[in-house]
Amino acid sequence: MVVEPSLSEQFVLERSIREIEDCNNIDVLSQLCVAMAKAQWHQARLLKQAVGHIALLDAVLSGGEQKP
């Protein structure tokens, strides 16, 4: 899959990145880093579970067997 953000989404991302780059408050940056690490962990876990469920569903629909 290829992610193709809209122009509007690209601008929002760029604005967020610039705000982070311009921030000089170490406490704010530390809190942001912690929040991003937690979010990344949860997203990775969710993606792993979703891919597993998709693979199982694909196996069931194609008549194959796969252990969860």
Reported confidence tier of residue 61, pLDDT bands at 50, 70, 90: very high
| Maximum Cα interatomic distance, the chain, rounded to a whole number of Å | 57
pLDDT tens digits, one per residue of 29-45: 999 999 999 999 999 99
Query: Which pTM value belongs to this model?
Result: 0.72
Assigned token pair, 19: 């705000």
Cβ neighbours of 20 (radius 10 Å): 13
Domain extents for the chain? Answer: 7-61
